[in-house]
Structure 1
Amino acid sequence: MVALTLLLLCCGVGGAAANNHYKVIIVGAGMSGISAGKTLSDAGIHNMLILEATNRIGGRVNKTTFAKLSVELGANWVEGVGGKETNPIWTMVKELNLQTYLSNFDNLTSNTYKQKGGLYKKSDAKKIYDEVDKVYKFSEELSKNLTKEKLEDISVLTAQRISQHVPTSPLEMAVDYFHNDYEFAEPPRVTSLKNTQPLPTFENFGDKNYFVADSRGFESVVHYVAQQYLTTNKIGDISDKRLLLNKTVIKLNYSESGVTVETEDNTKYTADYVMISVSIGVLQTNLIKFEPDLPEWKILAMYKFDMAVYTKIFLKFPSKFWPGGDGTEFFVYAHEKRGYYTMWQHLERIYHDSYVLLVTVTDDESRRIEQQSDSETKEEIMAVLRHMFGNEIPNATDIYVPRWWSNKFYKGSFSNWPIGVSKHEFEQIRAPVERVYFTGEHTSEHYNGYLHGAYLAGLYPFSPHTFLLPV
C-alpha cells in the first residue's frame, strides 16, 4: 500500500483531533466508508472522522420490520459462493452465523405464469428458457472474444441481435428480464456486455446465491467490520466519537493544502484529506456542493455511469394461495409490458406461515411506482396476482414499497456499468481530485453493484498507480 505509506508520512498517525481538524474525513458510513475506515486504522491512521447523513450505519444494507418479520430493503443475497475464491462477505456471514438459505431458480420452467390464464405448460416454458440460455452463453463467448481482440464494447442487446434472437414475446421478455434486469436492475439495451458477461462475481466466487434472513439483519456484516476499529459500549453498540450520525454533508471546499467539510447543521470540520463514499447517484446530484467545482473530466465520467433502481415490494396476506413445497419459492409473470411485476418470491420457506410475498421491479417501473401511492401499487399487484391465481384470492392486508430513487441520500440502489463507459473513464470515476478521494461499490472495477464490491473498494481505496496522494 504505497499510497497509505505516503499518507502516513504526510500526515502522521494517531493523536486526538483538535478544533475539528482530522487527518482524514470519511463521508458516508455504508459498507465502503466503514471498510475504508478500517483500512486507514489498520495503517495506523486513527485521527479520522466518519460523517453519516442518516441515523444508522450500513447505507443500502438496510432492514426493517414488516408483518412482524425482519426483511431486507436493500442488499439481501450473498452473491457468489462456492467458487475458486471465497467471497469476503460470505466469510463474515459464516463468522456471524447469520441465517441464510440457498436460492434455487432451477424450477422456473414449472412456475412461469401467462399474462392471463395461469401457468404456461412446462414444455413451452422450457423451450424459451433453453433458447435464452443459449443466447446468454453465446453472449459470454462474444464478450470474451471482444476482450481478447481488444475490440470496442457493445450492449447486451446488441449481442442478442448478433445472435439473431431478440426477446419479443411476453414469455421471452420475462425470461430475459430474469437473466438481465433481475441481476443488473437495467435492461440489456443499456448494459455493457464486456463488463457483465461473464460476470466476475460468479466467475471468481462461484454461482451460488444465499438469501440472508436473520433478525439481526444483513447490516450485521457492516457492524462486524466497524467494530474491528470503532469502540463499542457494553451491549456492543458503536459508541466511538469518530462516528457522527445525522450529519448531512452539504459543502466540501478543497485545495492543495487540505479540505473543509460543512454539514447541514452549519458545523465545519477540516482535514488533510477527505474520502467520499456516497453513491454514484448522490454524486450526480447537488446534495454536496464542491468548491471549487469538480473538474470537467471528473463530472463527465461520473455522469456516464448509471445508478440503477431495484425495488423489492413486500405484501402480507391473511392466508396462502400460491403453491408451496420444493421448487416453488420463485415464480415469474410474463406481461406484454417488459418488467411489469415480473419476478416473485414467497417467503414461506424462510418464514413459515408468514403469508408474505416479495415482488421485484426495476428501472423505469421502480421510478413510476415510487411516484404513485402504495394503495395504487397494491391495486396493480392484486390485478396481476388474480391473473395468475384466480379472482378468489384474498386482498393483501399490508404493503411496503422502498423508495431508493426518491431518497436524496441514495438516489438508487446500486450502480450498473452501461455501454459507452471505457476502462479509462471508469478510472476517472474513482480517481482523486487533489485531496478528495472516492470509494464505493461503483469504484470496484470487477464487482460494482455488489456488497463485496463495496467492501473491497474500501479495503483498497488508493491505487499505488492511479491514486498516489499529493505530497
Structure 2
Amino acid sequence: MLSAACLLLYASLASSEGYSSPDAYETSVLILGAGAAGLQAARSLLEKNFTDFIILEGSNRTGGALQRIQFGGIELASGRMRLTSPDLQHAEKDNIGLKEVNYESYMVLNDYGEDLTDMFDQRYAAFEEADEKVYEIAEMVLAGQRQDISQKTALAMSGWVASTPLDRLVEWTELDFDEGIQSKRIPITAPYELQHMMGNKEDGMMMEEEYPPEYIITDYNQGFFPDVHAKLVPGKNLKFNKVVRNIDQSGDKVVVTAEGNLQYTADYVLVTFGIGVIQQEGVTFTPDLPPWKTEQIFRYQRGTIDPIFLRFSSSFWGNKEWIYHASERNDVDRHYYPGFLNLEAEGYYADCKMLVAFVTGEEALRVEGLTDGQVAEEILAVLRSMFGAETVSTLEEIHVERWASDPFHYGLFSTWPVPSNVPADAAQRLGAKVGRIFFAQQASDPFIGLTSGSIGASVTAMEQMSACIRGEECPDYEPDMSGNMGMGGVYDHDDDDELYTCIGIRIPKGEGKTRKNIPSSDNPTGTSISGTKK
C-alpha cells in the first residue's frame, strides 16, 4: 500500500485538472497494459487519490486475459475461465459469479464410440501410484538435493510411460490442461508449488492442504475492477489502441513510443504485458535490458489453453460435466480435441445446447492456424466418431479463441521456465525493475499462471515504485551470479499471511499433487472418490 507520505508527494505531482487531458502526453506514471496487473496498479494509485497517470492499452478493451464474449445470447468467459483459491478473494470482491467445477462428473469415449471410463479409472490409478514416487523426487529438488527435471522424465523414472491414447489422455487431464504446455516442458516441482499449496506455514515448512477446488466464471456482473473502471476516462487516463513499440529511458524521463510515432513521457513506467509480447520483440527497450533480465524473459514459457465454443441445434451428449476423447491421434506433444465441457451441466446454463472444446500447447498452435470452418469440420468429425454420425446435431455457431497468436498476449498466461540450469533467483530477476522501468510479471509472483499472480506482481511493483517516488533508496536488483541453481526462482516475500518462500522448503510427504479426496457438494467428506481431475 502507498503511504500517506507518498500520497503527499503524489498530490504535489498531480495536475491541477486531476486527469491528464486527451492531448497531454506527459504524466508522472505510465501503466502499459489494462489487464489485471494494469488495473490493479491503477487501483493502488486511485486509492490514494493519485490521478496523474495514464494507462496505454494496445487493444480496444480492458481486462487482458479476463475476456468475455457474447455467444448464443449468453455472456461467457473466454480467456481465464477457470479460477482457483488465490483468485477467489478478487472474484468475491468484484461480485463475480462462479460455479465449482465437478471433475468427478465425466465420461471417456474413443474414436469408435466405445466407453472407456472404467479403463480410464484403472489407468488413472496407475498414474497416481507413479505420482507418489514423483512427489518424493520433487521433495529432493525443493530441498536442494538435486536439480529439477521435467514431469515426463520423473514419471518415466517412476514407472509411468504414456504409450497409449488413454494414458496420454490421463496425462493431459492432470498436466497439460493445467499448465498449457507439454509434460516434457513442465518442471517436476511445478504442480507442488504455491498455487496448489495455499495454506499453512509452520516453522519454515509448507504443509500441504487438500487440492483446492476450481471454479468457472459464470456471471461477470459488472466485471473485475468495477471501482477502477468507474474512475477511468477513455481518451484521458485510459487510452485504447495504443500499441507500444519502444520504451526509452536513456534521458531524464522515460519516453514510450506507440504506433503512429505517438510519444508519452513519464517519470516512471510500469510494464504489465506478458512476457510473450517481449519475447516476440513486440516491444523494444533503449538501452537494452541487462542480460540477467532478458535471459529470464526468454527462459519462462507461455501456456496456452484455447477454448472453442460450440452451439448446436440440440444437445446429444448426456448430462456429464466433462466429456473426454481418447483419440488415436494423441501423441507425445499433441492431444487431438481431448476435452469438452458441457455447459448444460448442473450449475451452468440450462438448455443452452453448448459445449466448450479445449486444446492446449502444441495442438493449440496447430488449431490456431486453421479457419473457424476447418476447426468446425474437425470437431464435428470427432464428435460423430464418438457419438455416431446420426446422433450429432447441426452445429449452428462456433467461436475459436487464439491466445497463442494474439499479438497482445502470445499465450494465455506465463508459466514455468524450462527445467534446465534455472538460477535460484530467476523469479526475482523476472520481476525486478531496471532503472525507472518497473515490471509486473505474472510469472515473478508465487501464484504463477493465475490471475492472482498478475495482481500480486502489480502490488509488489507499485510498492517499489512508491519508495522511489518518496525519494527512498530503491536500487536496481543485484542478481545472484554465483551459479546457484533452483527451481524457477526463490519467491521470498515478507508477508507471511499470503506468500511464502518456494526454494529450500521441505514439503512433508503426502499424497502427491493429484486432486483426489476433494470435498465437494457431491462428496462432502472428500473421501475415496475414483481419481481426481478428469
Compared with structure 1, are the counterparts of its residues 77 and 376 closer, same or farther at alpha carbon in structure 2 (3 Å cutoff)?
A: same
- 1:70 is matched with which residue: 43, 51, 75? 75
CA shift, 1:91, in A, is 2.6
Contact 2:29 2:266 in 1 (8 A): yes
Deviation at 1:12, TM superposition (A): 5.7
Partner Cα distance (1:13, 1:143) in 2: 50
Residue 422 of structure 1: aligned partner: 423
Secondary structure of the 2:395 match is: coil
TM-score (ref. length: structure 1): 0.87
- Select 1:331's aligned residue among 312, 317, 323: 323
Which one is further off, 315-324 or 1-10? Answer: 1-10
Sequence identity of aligned pairs in percent? Answer: 27
**Bigger Cα displacement from structure 2, 398-407 vs 7-16:** 7-16
Q: Distance in 2 between matches of 1:8 and 1:406?
A: 43
CA contact (8 A) 1:191 1:417 kept: yes
> Cα gap change, 1:180/1:259 in structure 2, threshold over 3 Å: closer, same or farther?
same
State the alpha-carbon separation in 2 of the partners of residues 440 and 377 from structure 1. Answer: 33
Deviation of 1:138 after TM superposition, in Å, equals 2.9
Q: In the alignment, which residue of structure 1 is the partner of 2:102? A: 104
What amino acid does structure 1 have at the position aligned with 2:459? L
**Structure 2 unmatched runs, 5+:** 200-210, 477-534
Alpha-carbon deviations, 1:155-211, whole Å to 9, x = none? Answer: 1112102202121111110011000000000111001122x1314223206611111
1:314 partner amino acid: F
Q: Match for residue 226 of structure 1?
A: 228
Partner of 2:308: 313
Q: Which amino acid aligns with 1:411?
A: Y
Give the superposition deviation at 1:59.
Answer: 0.7
Question: What amino acid maps onto 1:330 in structure 2?
Answer: W
Shift of 1:49: 1.3
1:13-39 per-position Cα deviation (integer Å, ceiling 9, x unaligned):
534559532221110010011112223
Q: Which residue of 2 aligns with 1:403?
A: 402
- Opposite residue 426 of structure 1, the aligned amino acid is A
Query: d(CA) in 2 for partners of 1:121 and 1:437?
Result: 49
| Cross-structure match for 1:355 | 353
What amino acid sits opposite 1:298 in the alignment? Answer: K
How far, CA to CA, are the matches of 2:111 and 2:241 in structure 1? Answer: 45
2:195 is aligned with 1:201: yes
Aligned pair count? 446
Match of 2:384 among 383, 386, 389: 386
Q: What is the aligned counterpart of 1:157 among 152, 157, 162?
A: 152
Structure 2 residue corresponding to 1:47, chosen from 45, 52, 57: 52
Gaps of 5+ in 1: 81-86, 233-237
Q: Provide the rounded CA distance (Å) in 1 between the counterparts of 2:95 and 2:463.
A: 33
Q: Does 1:439 align with 2:437?
A: no
Instruction: Give the secondary structure class of the aligned counterpart of 1:461.
Output: helix
Query: How far apart, in 2, do the equivalents of 1:245 and 1:440 lie?
Result: 21
Mapped to 2, the partners of 1:453 and 1:469 lie a distance apart of 23
Contact 1:181-1:362 at 8 Å conserved across structures: yes
Q: Quote the offset at 1:432 in angstroms.
A: 1.6
Q: Which secondary structure state, in structure 2, belongs to the residue aligned with residue 56 of structure 1?
A: coil
SS where residue 192 of structure 2 aligns? Answer: coil
2:206 counterpart residue number: none
Q: Greater CA deviation, 138-147 or 333-342?
A: 138-147
CA deviation vs aligned residue, 1:303-360 (integer Å, no higher than 9, x gap): 1111122100011111111111xxx101211123241111111100311111111110
Q: Are the aligned partners of 1:441 and 1:454 in contact in 2 as well (CA < 8 Å)?
A: yes
Q: What is the correspondence of 1:284-303 to structure 2 with a 5 Å cutoff?
A: 284-303=279-298
- Cα root mean square deviation, aligned: 2.7
